[in-house]
Amino acid sequence: MPKLTPEQRQGLLDLPKTEQHLHFEAALPLAAAQERHGEALRPVPPFWAPDFRYEDFAHFSQVSRDFVFPSFQSPDDYLALAGPIFRGIRAHNVRYLETSVNLFLLERHDFDLDAFLRDLRREAPADMEVRIYCGFRRNAYVGRLARIIDAAAESDEVAGLDLHGIETLALEPWTREAWARSRACGKRNKAHAGEFGGAQSVLQVLEELKVDRVQHGTRSVEDPALVSRLARERTVLDMCPISNLRLRVCPTLASHPLRELVQAGVRCTVNSDDPILFGNYITDDLIALVEEAHFTLPEVVALLRVGWEEALLPADVRSRFLGELEAQGSVQPPAPPR
């Protein structure tokens, strides 16, 4: 298959980007992970091998517990790693970031949520806008974590709630109540669906949680009526091609349904999801779409344009970045032929 030249790769790197589906903890820098785990992750993690695939979601979760979660055991751990995490993301010319923080890791700590999130955001580069989401599993509403969820739903420091974890678990009543409270506070909520749970899981979060952003949504393509609804209601799917490949949601990037969904009128963005677990940042996803799924530069720019159009930014800031994207996108070297 044709490969991009170094100049073409640099061109994709230079495009101004948004990231709207990224788990904060899984953006742990490789150097920090290697410092903790030593030879197990040197010279690079074994799960970065090009042909590596996770056996299933349980396998992926175990690798997360082994190599990611140990680095995030206190609010101080988060703050110590925030600067390197944000700088690693910014290095791919990400100028706007929506990142989900997995607060179950801090359940045993007594901390001020608003102060913690303010301190976390202060570690970001000045030229990268950051919106922080609070992510929770479907069975998370217990003990101290229930109080954290209640606080997050109404906190001014939280951009919205994000439901993640095992998609096949039933939605418990607390999720509908918390997402409704958050929505009443003017927040834009999300939910992971359509990855392992199938198209029905997407329909469920649309109906019961009233989200207008779905994290993944890949398997929406299995239900034509759902695809039509997503397009009609302008629901955004924040998609992660390399993640879907590594987790066996799609067998190849060439068979990924992203183009089919876009051609059906569904608004989609491209994101990296879990860089330390998949060996990618957003530029790698864009390169993979061009080299393996034969996306053209105009198609890549159109995907990035949706990200900027959906970003929680003042209109003038959004327009400035859209102008920069169009200007840079029009002078990039051509992609390799199909």
User: How large is the angle between the packed helices 224-233 and 199-209, nearest 10 degrees?
Assistant: 40
CB 322 within 8 A of CB 301: no
Is 195 catalytic? The answer is yes
User: Any idea which residue has 């393509």 for tokens?
Assistant: 221
CB 99 within 8 A of CB 23: yes
Q: Which among 19, 25, 129, 195 is annotated as catalytic? A: 195
Q: Which two tokens stand for residue 275?
A: 């860089």
Catalytic positions are: 195
